[in-house]
Chains A and B, each alone.
Chain A
Amino acid sequence: MLSHKGRWRGQVEVTGAIIAVGVLLLVITTLFYSIIQLQQATSDVFAKRASFESERSLERVSVIYDPEGGLCIVRNAGGVDVEVARVWVSDSGFVEEPEAAGLPATIRRGESISFAVDAIPVAIVTKRGNVFEVRSECLRQAAMARSVVEVIYGGVGGFISSQNIIGAGRLTSDQACIVYEVYRGDSKKEDKTVPVLVYRNEAGWIYHKCDPNDPSTYGWKLVTRPPQSSIELDPDLDESGVNEAIVARNISSTLIEIGDPNQGPTSVSVNLTFYNVIRISSSADVVIVFYKFVIKANVGGQPHQVSYNPRVALIALGSGSRYEAPGSVAVSSSGEYVAVISGYVVFPRLFYNLQNDYYSVEIALEINTEKINTGSSATRIVSVRLEYIAITGAEILWKPLP
């Protein structure tokens, strides 16, 4: 009977063992499967990410400016086809259908698309997350082409001279805003009586007085008080054929220049800040700011010494960073009392670590005079004028009026 009972118990133990082994097998299999699945999924995703990064780095879009046809040519110069996800047609507007911006949905390897300079989109965003700033690059090349021609063959000039920017409507556009400060005398106290910047164009004398926080003050307005006929300023002091922007005062309903021949300041600092005038992108290696001032001083027929210290600063509007450098000076004279100060400042982007941002450009000119002979009369500064500012290597944001 004992053997009979033991057989039953043996069967029970075997049954229990089978259940236990089954459960253990299930647990081990599930865990193993789960771990394998996790590893598989992780390695799959990493492999796809590596492939994505590789393809992303192969995407290249080159932009070439054709000066003969005045065209911007966008070309897929990369190793993969570029799938266009979005096209920025302006700084704040985009389209998600590439055809609406004149682009195919896929730009094949080696394929080129031509645009007129004013019709090229601002940026092309690809499905791999690359952003190609095509307009700024094309405008940069176009600007470089023009400035080279003007600087070499024109002698004066530059990308935008005051004549050009006003003639083309750049400064009279809604975006134009120049903030200016004048400090007179050795104390360098700010002269609050200098309220206007004036210029003469085809319409007559126009003035500019801007507050960056008030867009209604942007641009230039026609001078109505005093009457146009009563303004006796010389629009082109150095007789170069290019009118100058004049730092003037509106006193007793009359426009007069910064100083008087007999009582004008002996030293002056003028700061001109061109607010939100350029955008620097990574496509530019060097930003160069050219300038030309025309100064008139009354030296009273005596030997005189005048020093000119220009400096230029780029002020990033996003970060507030300021990048400043002293400018070069080339002085020439077009008359007994008139000095022409021209020069430039070079900002290598990588040296200054200029970030992609919107920038204001500040140009400051400090003028100091000294008497050579104690018996001679003091030199008085009469006029401070800006003939042109030229900027290359950056996109000019002040669009001309149509």
Chain B
Amino acid sequence: MIEVACGREVMKRASLRGQSDLIGVVVLLGAVLVIGVAFAGMTLTSVSTLVSVNRVKTALSEDQSSIFVYVERENTTHTCLGILRIVPDYRVYAIGLFTSDLSQDLSGAITPPKPDTLVPRTIESSRVYRLYQGEYYPIPVKGSINVYFLTDQAIRDYILQRKPLLVCVDRSGLPSDGYLVVFSFINNELYEVRGWYVKP
């Protein structure tokens, strides 16, 4: 009887230890899962950000290499520039005109020869970046600036057709040297991809 009682006692204790071990294992497993998932989430977030930044850089690098600006016609008052994307791709671009140090907005001197190609729009200057020695910096204009966005029709008729878009600048309205900038519109921000100096 004593042996039977001892056996039951041992079984009972063993059962209790098994339960506590199981609970311990479940807790450990849960902790590992939580930590693992959190780590995976954080890593994926950073990777996603990295990939996103890389995608922007890739797009801007493509734009810098693809956009080609040249002087098409010039007379005593106007300079007309051709803007060409050598690889057709649906991208949104904007055009601005500034003083050569980009401190003053001169976009009033831009005269689109075809009215349905460009549409004026105001954008916060904090969302506009200039290209300097391969890096992007916010432009030094305070408040907002005026730029001309290419219309959807212009993108279809010129960018996707690999045909140069014509933009003219009225030089008689320039107080100093002007700098015409072609911006790429990515993530609601404007990034300079090409520029051309225009003398008054």
A-side residues, CB < 8 A to B, are 1, 4-5, 8-9, 11-12, 15-16, 19-20, 22-23, 26-27, 30-31, 34-35, 37-38, 41-42, 45-46, 48-49, 52, 85-86, 88, 91-92, 94, 123, 125, 127-129, 131, 276, 317-319, 356-358
In the complex, whether B28 has a CB less than 8 A from a CB of chain A is: yes
CB contact between A129 and one of B36, B65, B68, B87 (< 8 Å): that residue: B68
Residue ID in chain A nearest B36 by CB atoms = A19
Query: Could you give, for residues 128-167 of chain B, a 1 whenever the CB lies within 8 Å of some chain A CB and a 0 otherwise?
Result: 0000000000000000000000000000000000111010
Stretch of B54-62, B99-107, B118-126, B180-188 with 4 or more beta carbons under 8 angstroms from chain A: B54-62
CB contact between A85 and one of B22, B66, B164 (< 8 Å): that residue: B164
Instruction: Decide: B17 and A1 in contact? CB cutoff 8 A.
Output: yes
Instruction: Decide: B76 and A317 in contact? CB cutoff 8 A.
Output: yes
**Supplied contacts A8-B24, A41-B61, A91-B75, 18 more A-B pairs, CB within 8 Å:** A1-B14, A1-B17, A8-B22, A8-B25, A11-B25, A15-B32, A27-B43, A27-B44, A34-B50, A42-B58, A45-B61, A48-B66, A49-B65, A85-B163, A94-B113, A94-B166, A129-B68, A319-B199
Interface of B is mostly: helix
Query: Could you give, for residues 12-52 of chain B, a 1 whenever the CB lies within 8 Å of some chain A CB and a 0 otherwise?
Result: 00100110011011001100110111011001100100110
Complex interface: chain B residues within 8 A of A94 (CB): 113, 166
In the complex, whether B112 has a CB less than 8 A from a CB of chain A is: no
**What's the Cα separation between A45 and B68 when bound, in Å?**
13
Instruction: Decide: B86 and A19 in contact? CB cutoff 8 A.
Output: no
**What's the Cα separation between A342 and B191 when bound, in Å?**
60
Instruction: Return B142 CB to nearest CB of chain A, in Å.
Output: 33
Q: List 14 A-B contacts (CB under 8 A).
A: A16-B35, A23-B40, A27-B44, A27-B47, A30-B47, A42-B61, A42-B65, A45-B65, A48-B65, A92-B75, A128-B84, A129-B68, A129-B84, A318-B76
B-side residues, CB < 8 A to A, are 14, 17-18, 21-22, 24-25, 28-29, 32-33, 35-37, 39-40, 43-44, 47, 50-51, 54, 57-58, 61-62, 65-66, 68, 70-76, 82, 84, 86-87, 113, 162-164, 166, 199
Complex interface: chain A residues within 8 A of B17 (CB): 1
**What's the Cα separation between A31 and B49 when bound, in Å?**
11
CB contact between B164 and one of A9, A22, A125, A319 (< 8 Å): that residue: A125
**What's the Cα separation between A9 and B27 when bound, in Å?**
11
**What's the Cα separation between A125 and B113 when bound, in Å?**
15
Instruction: Decide: A19 and B40 in contact? CB cutoff 8 A.
Output: yes
Instruction: Return A43 CB to nearest CB of chain B, in Å.
Output: 10
Instruction: Decide: A12 and B25 in contact? CB cutoff 8 A.
Output: yes
Instruction: Decide: B62 and A45 in contact? CB cutoff 8 A.
Output: yes
**What's the Cα separation between A12 and B28 when bound, in Å?**
7
CB contact between A45 and one of B37, B39, B51, B87 (< 8 Å): that residue: B87
Instruction: Decide: A41 and B62 in contact? CB cutoff 8 A.
Output: yes
CB contact between A127 and one of B43, B75, B163 (< 8 Å): that residue: B163
